[in-house]
């Protein structure tokens, strides 16, 4: 591709394509990083809510499901 661009004298085309590719990669890495941090936070919350000892240690009196049950509300917490 670089040879064809050089022959045709379209160096600005190559620069703009490279810029777009770099921008796309940066956006994907940013999205992946955000998804990773969200996953870590969710894992920690799941561990704390599912482990009775951790709930007691952190003084979590009720999980979201237990709280909704006590208040007679129906929520979908992502269970499948």
CA angle (77, 28, 14) in 5-degree steps: 160
The residue extents of the domains of the chain are 2-70
Cα–Cα distance between 24 and 45 in angstroms, integer?
32
pLDDT digits (tens, 9 = 90+) for 26-53: 999 999 999 999 999 999 988 888 888 9
Task: Look at residue 27 in the predicted model and tell me its pLDDT.
Answer: 93
Task: Look at residue 2 in the predicted model and tell me its pLDDT.
Answer: 53
Task: Look at residue 11 in the predicted model and tell me its pLDDT.
Answer: 57
- Give the mean model confidence (pLDDT) for residues 13-23: 73
Contacts of 5 by beta carbon, 8 Å cutoff, 6+ apart: 11, 13, 14
- Look at the block and give the residue holding tokens 């208040």: 71
pLDDT at 75 over 70: no
Q: Which two tokens stand for residue 28?
A: 């994907």
Task: Look at residue 67 in the predicted model and tell me its pLDDT.
Answer: 75
């Amino acid at each position: 591709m670089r040879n064809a661009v050089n022959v045709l004298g379209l160096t600005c085309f190559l620069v703009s394509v490279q810029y777009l590719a770099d921008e796309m990669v940066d956006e994907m890495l940013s999205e992946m990083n955000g998804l990773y941090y969200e996953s870590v936070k969710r894992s920690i919350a799941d561990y704390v809510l599912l482990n009775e000892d951790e709930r007691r240690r952190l003084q979590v009196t009720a999980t979201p499901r237990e709280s909704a049950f006590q208040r007679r509300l129906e929520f979908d917490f992502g269970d499948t």
